[in-house]
Structure 1
Amino acid sequence: MATEYAPQTRDQWAPQGRPPRRHVLPPALRAPIEARTWREFGYLMLSLPISVLLFVFAVTMTSLGMGLLITFLGVPVLALCLAGCRGLGAMERARARVLLKLDVADPAPVRPKPGGGPMSWMGAMLKSGTSWRHLLYAVLHMPWAVFAFSVSLTFWSYGWAMLTYPLWQWTFPVYAGVDGLQLYGDSTHNVYLDSPVELGLTGAVGLLLTLATPWLIRGLAAADRVMVAGLLGPSRLATRVSELESDRGVVVDTAAADLRRIERDLHDGAQARLVALAMDLGLAKEKLTDDPEAAARMVDEAHGEVKIALQELRDLARGIHPAVLTDRGLDAALSAVASRCTVPVRVEVDLPARPAPAIEGIAYFTVSELLQNVSKHARASRATVEVWQTADRLMLQVSDDGQGGADTTAGSGLAGLAERLDAVDGILVVDSPAGGPTTVTAELPWRG
């Protein structure tokens, strides 16, 4: 269904966005000199000595602890091994954060029972799945680090050496007494890279290796990213629990803010009018016998105040949860919101059924806030609202032809809206380049 509504008024304001950064060289040519390539190459070079240290520590302490399990001494040795692996894991997370730009959250600390002493600490350490994952990382990373070190160093050094070979080929006849780099030699003949054609082919092969090696390095570093994130970070369950705790805080804060808004609106609006109305009716009652005409005028004014108070209460109720949304669904409710926007809005709702009431309410208020942004900031001449279902997700999209520049930086209305959607496993994506147009897409779980 498509419906279009006419404008009433228009405000003008929009932030200015930054133009995108432009590169002179394409990615394939600038990769060998990019800082990212050299950071990841440095990470792979450092991985070998560090992984050897981790491997030796983990294997030695684990073997010693397992061997001593026949006595009580094996338990503290294993606990110390796991604690050491956790400490070395913190170093690895810091190294990945600096060189790979991979920000892995610290796992939950070991929590022994209060007052349990060393035995409680050792028991908590041995029961911690995170600690054993750190030990597994220390054992598995060493063979991978040897492979990644060898491959990246070989390709990187050979690529640059062959690329620059025409520049340093002169050192062979001057210092080694041969014509160039020897490819083959026996008692009958020798093959050197010394002719102009051979120098050109060597440089061309070196160029290909130099251009291809950064992508090889990125692939090897990607495997390291997976290992660090999967073995040294918090578990999926712990991460999910943390997300739910954060989402619960957002929901509680949002509900408290809404309650404060409702209380303020009631106190400053309808409640104040009803108090004044009661006073006016009291005065009219006193004047009813002495001055009936004045009492009639006061009753008439009170009647007008009653109508205004009723309208304010209707607006307040619509802001809490509109009746049209409950009775007729998103199509009618969003059409009512669009009719109050300051620019023409086309509404298209294509839903096979109604989602869960909570999701329906969040979708309604999301579109309402986005259309308010269009009215206040976009400088748009028209806007579009589209709602549809994809698999088990409810999709919303609000577009306008305004001057763009909207973002979700901290403190903006879009940032708060993104937090509300995240609290119910939703996503908010903003595409608003400077100069427009602006497209805001929201994704919510269906939960029908």
Structure 2
Amino acid sequence: MATEYGRGYGLGDGPGLHGSAGERRHRLPAGLRAPFEARSLRELGYVLLGLPVGILLFTYAVTMVSLGAGLLVTFLGVPVLAAALAGCRGFGALERTRARGLLGLRVADPEPLRTKKSGAMAWMGAVLKSGTSWRALLYAVLHFPWAVFSFAVSVTVWTWGWAMLTYPLWFWVFPLYAGQGGLQLYGDETHQVYLDNPFEITVTALVGLLFALAAPWIVRALTMVDRVLVHGLLGPSRLVERVVELESDRGVVVDTAAADLRRIERDLHDGAQARLVNLAMDLGLAKEKLKEDPRTAARMVDEAHGEVKTALRELRDLARGIHPAVLTDRGLDAALSSVASRCAVPVRVEVDLTERPAPAIEGIAYFTVSELLQNISKHARATSAAVEVWRVENRLMLQVVDDGAGGADISAGSGLAGLTERIDAVDGVLVVDSPAGGPTRVTAELPWRSDHVR
């Protein structure tokens, strides 16, 4: 969701086995090669199969639901209605498979039936309460009229187009076997109009060519409605998708928090804690030498004093990495200015906010800019950078730009991937624009979530 846009329903054209062959194959315009592409034939096959499938599914759904509704006055109505809905769910699985095979539409399976108890009654209750079952029934009812319409239009356009295009090859049938000059356009008691001269035959073929070239695009437009029906009625509901997304985001947040705790523990163990242990040992030795060799003891105490300063600086840096006090006290403007002052290149900071967002969002914004500026210092080979923060309606916008070498890639498994996951976890978006040679522009969008209680 975060960094991916423009995802279509159709099948993409894969690369050829050899570059030159791929170039030759695509020199023909798409409008001319469409009637012969495998994708167009698969879409036509989907429409042609749609009519018998639609008739079967509609007949089953209407018959079973009507029977179940009529028997509701008896104990048989509920089982029949549950069986009807279960059958519609089964047909829905077949339709998802058909759409995946012929349209390239990959729709996730809907949520399975969940029963707290075992037994037939629990199963029937779960089927009747499931939104997936009723959406499958709705698909069965809506798909039938659309299948009839799309079948009629597709067959008419394809057959008439190719029949008219090939008319010069088979018009001789009429004078030879039917006793007339050609295909009759009009006829009454006194007038008859036939397509029988070279000019009319040529015009007929040209019109057929237009129909033949337009037919794949007309069928493709019709199948877009099928894609919407399958995706909207036979896939998981938006609520379920949102729940799955939130569960995934929660896992990312937990993993990130655990990684942060491990980093803090490692920094404490390898940094300040090690220095304090050494400091205690040095002070112990200095205490022992205090009476025997005061000069050496004084030197050791002076060295221990330096170690204390270093340990305090490391602890201060560690506390700033957890959550800087300046961010809590003075907000993003001062906190980002402090981070920018420690960057290896000059950084211009511009924060245009009239109020502060929620503390959690503010913290994520701070650490996002900190990580990006750290990447600039280490990897970008830049001479300058800029940080801009502003608000657009209920979204907090961040943008970090540098004039470095470029080439930053989220998919390369760098720190940008971790930033993307952290921002995704709060329904944010991270977009990286970093062509080779630069400049690099990283834009982050976070929810505002204002919080006046601090």
Assess, with a 3 A threshold, how the Cα gap between structure 1 residues 293 and 25 changes in structure 2: closer, same or farther: farther
- Please give the alpha-carbon distance, in whole angstroms, between the structure 2 residues aligned to 1:49 and 1:305: 83
1:271-326 Cα deviation digits (max 9, x unpaired): 11011101111111111111111011101111111111111111111111122222
> Residue 48 of structure 1 is aligned with which of 47, 51, 65?
51
Deviates more, 1:95-104 or 1:207-216: 207-216
Partner residue, 1:421: 423
> Residue 311 of structure 1 is aligned with which of 310, 313, 329?
313
- Please give the alpha-carbon distance, in whole angstroms, between the structure 2 residues aligned to 1:397 and 1:87: 49
Deviates more, 1:412-421 or 1:248-257: 412-421
Assess, with a 3 A threshold, how the Cα gap between structure 1 residues 366 and 168 changes in structure 2: closer, same or farther: farther
Post-superposition shift, 1:371? 3.0
> Residue 269 of structure 1 is aligned with which of 265, 268, 271?
271
Partner residue, 1:99: 102
Partner residue, 2:400: 398
- Please give the alpha-carbon distance, in whole angstroms, between the structure 2 residues aligned to 1:216 and 1:186: 34
Assess, with a 3 A threshold, how the Cα gap between structure 1 residues 420 and 52 changes in structure 2: closer, same or farther: same
SS at match of 1:389: strand
- Please give the alpha-carbon distance, in whole angstroms, between the structure 2 residues aligned to 1:333 and 1:28: 56
- Please give the alpha-carbon distance, in whole angstroms, between the structure 2 residues aligned to 1:389 and 1:353: 10
- Please give the alpha-carbon distance, in whole angstroms, between the structure 1 residues aligned to 2:347 and 2:77: 72
Amino acid at match of 1:262: I
Assess, with a 3 A threshold, how the Cα gap between structure 1 residues 328 and 32 changes in structure 2: closer, same or farther: farther
Post-superposition shift, 1:409? 2.6
- Please give the alpha-carbon distance, in whole angstroms, between the structure 2 residues aligned to 1:326 and 1:320: 12
Partner residue, 1:112: 115
- Please give the alpha-carbon distance, in whole angstroms, between the structure 2 residues aligned to 1:145 and 1:189: 40
Amino acid at match of 2:132: T
- Please give the alpha-carbon distance, in whole angstroms, between the structure 1 residues aligned to 2:30 and 2:369: 39
> Residue 350 of structure 1 is aligned with which of 346, 349, 352?
352
SS at match of 1:134: helix
Contact 1:79–1:125 under 8 Å retained in 2: yes
Post-superposition shift, 1:401? 4.1
Post-superposition shift, 1:166? 4.5
Query: How many residues are paired up?
Result: 428
Post-superposition shift, 1:259? 0.6
Assess, with a 3 A threshold, how the Cα gap between structure 1 residues 196 and 297 changes in structure 2: closer, same or farther: farther
1:42-71 Cα deviation digits (max 9, x unpaired): 322221111112112111211222232232
Assess, with a 3 A threshold, how the Cα gap between structure 1 residues 80 and 384 changes in structure 2: closer, same or farther: same
- Please give the alpha-carbon distance, in whole angstroms, between the structure 2 residues aligned to 1:166 and 1:263: 84
Post-superposition shift, 1:407? 3.2
- Please give the alpha-carbon distance, in whole angstroms, between the structure 1 residues aligned to 2:53 and 2:412: 38
Assess, with a 3 A threshold, how the Cα gap between structure 1 residues 414 and 30 changes in structure 2: closer, same or farther: farther
Post-superposition shift, 1:245? 1.5
Amino acid at match of 2:396: L
Partner residue, 2:142: 140
Post-superposition shift, 1:356? 1.3
Assess, with a 3 A threshold, how the Cα gap between structure 1 residues 35 and 357 changes in structure 2: closer, same or farther: farther
Partner residue, 2:85: 82
Post-superposition shift, 1:344? 4.2
**Alignment pair present for 1:206 and 2:208:** yes
User: For residues 22-421 of structure 1, what are the structure 2 equivalents within 5 Å?
Assistant: 24=27, 28=31, 31-114=34-117, 116-166=118-168, 169=171, 178-409=180-411, 411-421=413-423
1:241-282 Cα deviation digits (max 9, x unpaired): 222211111111111111111011101101110111011111
Amino acid at match of 2:287: K
Amino acid at match of 2:80: V
Q: Give me the TM-score of the superposition, normalised by structure 2.
A: 0.85
Give the % identical residues.
76
Contact 1:55–1:138 under 8 Å retained in 2: yes
1:328-386 Cα deviation digits (max 9, x unpaired): 32223223333444444433322222211111111121222233333444444544332
SS at match of 1:317: helix
- Please give the alpha-carbon distance, in whole angstroms, between the structure 2 residues aligned to 1:165 and 1:216: 22
Amino acid at match of 1:278: A
Assess, with a 3 A threshold, how the Cα gap between structure 1 residues 24 and 367 changes in structure 2: closer, same or farther: farther
Q: What is the CA RMSD across the aligned residues, in angstroms?
A: 2.7
Post-superposition shift, 1:415? 2.8
- Please give the alpha-carbon distance, in whole angstroms, between the structure 2 residues aligned to 1:171 and 1:336: 89
Partner residue, 1:443: 445
- Which ranges in structure 1 are unaligned for 5 or more consecutive residues? 1-18
SS at match of 2:427: coil
Partner residue, 1:15: none
SS at match of 1:369: helix
- Please give the alpha-carbon distance, in whole angstroms, between the structure 2 residues aligned to 1:117 and 1:264: 53
Q: Give me the TM-score of the superposition, normalised by structure 1.
A: 0.86
Contact 1:370–1:398 under 8 Å retained in 2: yes
- Please give the alpha-carbon distance, in whole angstroms, between the structure 2 residues aligned to 1:34 and 1:405: 36
- Please give the alpha-carbon distance, in whole angstroms, between the structure 2 residues aligned to 1:348 and 1:209: 58
SS at match of 1:138: helix
Contact 1:113–1:121 under 8 Å retained in 2: no
User: RCO (CA 8 Å, sep 6+): is it higher in 1 or 2?
Assistant: 1
